[in-house]
């Protein structure tokens, strides 16, 4: 393998690496897991565009309400059991966003008593699966 080919192969391997993501999730307090996780790859262009527009952070493009409704109706149409039922605001939820130079996790007061558990679940979900 010549040097140029080897460099190209190394460049291609870099495309296999996981890209950072922003996203949303819900937390099931009964089984202590995240569900309904939705993620979107954070690209350098998104960061540059946000900076040019003076936006304080980059968020997942869909609202919890939109994802919840879509999953609810999908389950209804297919006659599936689902966690997406009832009022989405009554189920613990959160989001991972990007601000200036770091990721932030936004959750409600529901997470105060379980910070270590929820932190572990979020880190696992965001570091062990693709966007």
Query: Which residue would you say has higher pLDDT here, 56 or 33?
Result: 33
pLDDT at position 66: 97
Instruction: Compute the mean pLDDT over every residue in the chain, rounded to the nearest whole number.
Output: 87
DSSP code, position 125: H
pLDDT at position 7: 61
- pLDDT digits over 112-122, tens only? 999 988 999 99
- pLDDT digits over 56-89, tens only? 889 999 999 999 999 999 999 999 999 999 999 9
pLDDT at position 3: 67
Q: Give 18's pLDDT tier (boundaries 50, 70, 90).
A: low
Task: Name the residue among 36, 71, 45, 42 with its Cα closest to residue 59.
Answer: 42
pTM: 0.81
């Amino acid at each position: 393998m010549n040097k140029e080919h080897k460099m190209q192969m190394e460049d291609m391997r870099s495309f296999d690496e996981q890209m950072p993501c922003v996203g949303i999730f819900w937390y099931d307090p009964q089984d202590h897991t995240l569900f309904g996780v939705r993620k979107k790859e954070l690209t350098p262009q998104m960061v540059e565009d946000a900076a040019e527009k003076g936006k304080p952070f980059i968020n997942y493009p869909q609202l919890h309400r939109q994802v919840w409704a879509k999953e609810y109706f999908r389950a209804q149409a297919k006659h599936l059991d689902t966690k997406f039922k009832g009022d989405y605001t009554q189920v613990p939820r959160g989001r991972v966003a990007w601000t200036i130079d770091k990721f932030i996790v936004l959750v409600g007061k529901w997470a105060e008593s379980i910070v270590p558990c929820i932190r572990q679940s979020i880190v696992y979900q965001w570091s062990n699966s693709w966007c």
